[in-house]
Amino acid sequence: MHRHQLENENIHKAFQFLDKDGDGFITRDDLGQVMLPYRIASEAAINEIIDDVDSNKDGKINYSEFKAMIKEEMREYAEKQRKLEF
Alpha-helical regions (H) of the chain: 3-18, 28-35, 43-53, 63-85
Pick the stretch among 22-30, 31-39, 40-48, 75-83 that binds Ca ion (CB under 5 A).
22-30
Q: Which long-range contacts (CB under 8 A, 24 or more apart) does 49-57 make?
A: 50/26
Q: Is 58 in the site for Ca ion (CB under 5 A)?
A: yes
Minimum CB separation from Ca ion for residue 31, in Å? 9
Cβ atoms of 31 and 41 within 8 Å: the answer is: yes
Q: Which residues pair with 26 in a beta bridge?
A: 61
51 forms part of the interface with Ca ion (CB under 5 A): no
Closer residue to Ca ion, CB minimum distance, 2 or 37: 37
Of 5-13, 37-45, 51-59, 69-77: span binding Ca ion (CB under 5 A): 51-59
